[in-house]
């Protein structure tokens, strides 16, 4: 609790003791990207922060990236400054329309709340494609036949579950053509070599990861629960076989790199076309604080898109 700077409350909620800077929507400082907030589900206080290039290429539609931020399902929002800036850079660099989903956080809203919100975001995107009443940025710029679900850390886990749920939804005319799963946050009861090697990692030491899972998963569930752990069953293999192409990206300096490698292997075993990038060094979500790592990350995303 001390490491994560949180305090438990008697009602099962937590007090987040460290203030996290947030950025308002609007015009980026470099004037390359515009952003604004649109409601997703007012009763749940969820919303989507939209990003678009200020000067998109004329006469062409842009891929739509539906983005899910990281934070272990417990921290941050679409407005958190480093996620806001990351989405701004993606929108400018690719270029693309980016819809960053502000989902509900645990433990106030334990899983599957974030996965439910991700499903609502897909249905929202369908409504934008069908109109009427579509947001002008979406109607004018978004190519609904080129949708990528993209997430980092817990956001990557949300992408995986959103993709599974999408198979049971009628999302026409949307076409999800790729999944970008960056430093996916996965768990399990059995320790991996990389978790033990990096047990005292400066970013996500093992004791804090265990606590995060205990706050995020349904009460009483262990880390082998399917909301956070992936093991290949015949049913799952059959569903995964319908996935679009996937980019799985990881750092060797991340405690969860072994789980991420295994996840890529499970996808491949299911017949999915997988691009696996294991970057030497780094640490969990290093691209949020390191400019060179951010450039390399965006170049990787752009090449995949």
**Does residue 85 sit within a domain?**
yes
CA angle 243, 124, 153 (to 5 degrees): 55
User: If residue 147 lies in a helix (H) or strand (E), which one and from where to where?
Assistant: strand 142-152
Mean pLDDT of 6-12: 97
Please, which pLDDT band fits residue 131 given cuts at 50, 70 and 90? Answer: confident
Examine the pLDDT at 29 and tell me if it is beyond 80: no
Candidate list 35, 86, 100, 153, residue with the active-site label: 153
Q: Which of 251, 254, 255, 153 is nearest to 196 (CA)?
A: 255
The distance from CA 85 to its chain's CA centroid, rounded to whole angstroms, is: 15
Contact between residue 188 and residue 224 where contact means Cβ atoms under 8 Å apart: yes
**Among 182, 254, 258, 300, which one carries the catalytic annotation?**
254
State the average pLDDT over residues 32-39.
Answer: 96
Asked if residue 274 belongs to a domain, the reply is yes
Read off the pLDDT band of 286 (50, 70, 90): very high
The DSSP code for 31 is S
Give buried/exposed letters for 67-77 (b at 16+ CB in 10 A, else e).
bbbbbbbbbbb
**From the CB of residue 275, how many other CB atoms can be counted at a distance below 10 Å?**
15
pLDDT of residue 13 exceeding 90: yes
pLDDT single digits (tens) 136-171: 999 999 999 999 999 999 999 999 999 999 999 999
| pLDDT for the residue 75 | 98
Which two structure tokens, joined as six digits, stand for 86? 């990351």
**Would you say residue 28 has pLDDT above 80?**
no
| CA–CA distances in Å: residue 86 to residues 79, 98, 160, 194, 206 | 11, 10, 20, 27, 26
Catalytic option among 69, 84, 182, 284 = 284
The total domain count for the chain is 1
What pLDDT, on the 0 to 100 scale, is given for residue 294?
92
Q: Identify the CATH number of the domain in which residue 230 sits.
A: 3.40.50.1820
pLDDT per residue as tens digits for the range 55-76: 998 989 999 999 999 999 999 9
pLDDT digits (tens, 9 = 90+) for 102-117: 999 999 999 999 999 9
- Please indicate whether residue 284 is annotated as part of the active site: yes
**Three-class SS of residue 29?**
coil
Catalytic site includes residue 117:
no
In a domain, 271, yes or no: yes
> What's the confidence (pLDDT) of residue 73?
98
Q: Collect all residues with Cβ–Cβ distance below 8 Å to 176 and sequence separation of at least 6.
A: 147, 148, 149, 163, 166, 244
Instruction: State how far Cα 287 lies from the chain centre.
Output: 14
In the predicted structure, residue 212 carries a pLDDT above the cut 90: yes
DSSP H stretches of helix in the chain: 81-93, 113-130, 136-141, 154-166, 193-197, 206-216, 234-240, 257-269, 291-304
1 in a domain, yes or no? no
Q: Is 100 a catalytic residue?
A: no
pTM, 2 dp = 0.97
Q: What gap in Å lies between CA 88 and CA 82, rounded to an integer?
A: 10
Q: How confident is the model at residue 126 (pLDDT cuts 50, 70, 90)?
A: very high
- pLDDT higher than 70, residue 2: yes
Closest CA to 49 of 16, 107, 91: 91
Q: Is 55 exposed, middle or buried (CB count within 10 Å of its CB: 0-12, 13-18, 19+)?
A: exposed
What is the distance between the alpha carbons of residues 147 and 63, in angstroms, rounded to a whole number?
A: 6
Q: What percent of the chain has pLDDT over 70?
A: 100
Domain that holds residue 51: 6-304
User: Does residue 68 form part of some domain?
Assistant: yes
């Amino acid at each position: 609790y001390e490491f994560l700077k949180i305090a438990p409350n008697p009602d099962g909620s937590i007090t987040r003791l460290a203030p996290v800077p947030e950025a308002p929507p609007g015009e980026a400082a470099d004037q390359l990207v515009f952003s604004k907030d649109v409601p997703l589900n007012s009763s749940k206080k969820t919303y989507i922060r939209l990003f678009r290039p200020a000067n998109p290429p004329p006469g062409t539609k842009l891929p739509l990236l539906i983005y899910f931020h990281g934070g272990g399902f417990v921290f941050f929002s679409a407005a958190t400054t480093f996620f806001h800036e990351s989405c701004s850079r993606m929108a400018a660099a690719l270029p693309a329309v980016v819809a960053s989903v502000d989902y509900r956080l645990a433990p106030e809203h334990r899983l599957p709340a974030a996965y439910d919100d991700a499903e609502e975001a897909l249905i929202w995107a369908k409504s934008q494609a069908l109109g009427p009443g579509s947001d002008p940025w979406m109607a004018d710029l978004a190519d609904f036949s080129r949708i990528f679900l993209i997430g980092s850390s817990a956001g990557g886990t949300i992408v995986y579950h959103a993709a599974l749920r999408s198979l049971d939804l009628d999302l026409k005319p949307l076409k999800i053509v790729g999944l970008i799963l960056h430093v996916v946050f996965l768990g399990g009861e059995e320790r991996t070599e990389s978790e033990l090697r990096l047990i005292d990692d400066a970013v996500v030491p093992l004791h804090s990861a265990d606590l995060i899972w205990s706050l995020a998963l349904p009460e009483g569930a262990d880390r082998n629960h399917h909301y956070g752990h992936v093991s290949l069953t015949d049913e799952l293999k059959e569903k995964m076989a319908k996935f679009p192409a996937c980019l799985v990206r990881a750092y060797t300096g991340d405690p969860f790199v072994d789980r991420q490698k295994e996840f890529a292997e499970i996808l491949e075993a299911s017949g999915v076309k997988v691009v696996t990038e294991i970057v030497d060094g780094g640490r969990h979500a290093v691209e949020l604080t390191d400019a060179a790592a951010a450039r390399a990350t965006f170049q990787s995303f752009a090449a995949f898109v």
